[in-house]
Amino acid sequence: MKLSILLLVAVLFMAPAIRLLSAARRTRQIPELLAALYFLGAGIGLPLRLYGSSIFESQPELASTVNGLGHLFFASGVIAMTIFTWRVFHPERRGARTFAIATIALIVSTTIYTLFSGMGSAETSIEMIATNSARLIPTYWAFFESYRYWGAMRKRAALGLGDPVVTNRFLLWAVWTAAVSVLPTASLGLRVLEMLVSASGTSVAANEFLQPILSGLRLLFLGVAPIAVVALSLSFFPPTRYLDGIRARAADASSA
């Protein structure tokens, strides 16, 4: 795999991680720290996993070690995301705490089982499909809560009772979490198809069947990935003109 892709993935996640760590150090708030841990885990774990997969054929032992570390970092990141969503949106609700604990238990158990079974590099194995499925729960939950809260904040902002910049930030976070949920889900669906086709033993027909799906997945990635990058950039590094525009539109709407 090209070094540029690995660096791009690392920078995409590490830049907000550094920003959030600085904020957590300044404010001493847990949510900022948890969000930083998510981006750190993803920023280290995903490039390690990508690199491990790229050298699996030539250096299987090194690939297994690198991929295993990637699994541990990324699993830690999505666990932090789970706690973040619970603490930010439903800190007092027992049901949300139970859901968070169950999600963390599922992520830990599937990750441990996959690593100890030696299937950490087998993307089309049942173990990896179960592990990746468990890791999607935190981002889908974060998307649901962010989108729901954005809707409530938008109504308040329309009445002049809410900060339009904060309202917009919830929208951006919803867009980002939707993207990092949809893209892995589509990839996971392809892995499931590959596993089913491989089990059927019809490799030639399988290749013809999967090629259009793979092309569609590439188009989906090309369409969604830039939107996700823009949403993430505007969440943590918004230009002054962008913020001024949000405030100006809110002022015009409230005075209309």
What digits encode the pLDDT tens for the residues 78-114? 999 999 999 999 998 999 999 999 999 999 999 999 9
Single-letter residue type at 53: S
Q: Which of 37-51, 62-76, 209-223, 226-240 has the lowest mean pLDDT?
A: 209-223
Residues 46, 183, 139, 175: is their CA dihedral positive or negative? positive
**159, 31, 135: which is closest to 73 by C-alpha?**
135
Q: Per-residue confidence at 124, pLDDT binned at 50, 70, 90?
A: confident
Q: Which of 47-56, 86-95, 133-142 has the lowest mean pLDDT?
A: 47-56
In degrees and rounded to multiples of 5, residue 8 shows phi and psi of: -65, -45
Domain residues of the chain, as ranges?
1-121, 141-256
Single-letter residue type at 61: E
The structure's pTM equals 0.88
What digits encode the pLDDT tens for the residues 162-178? 788 888 999 999 999 99
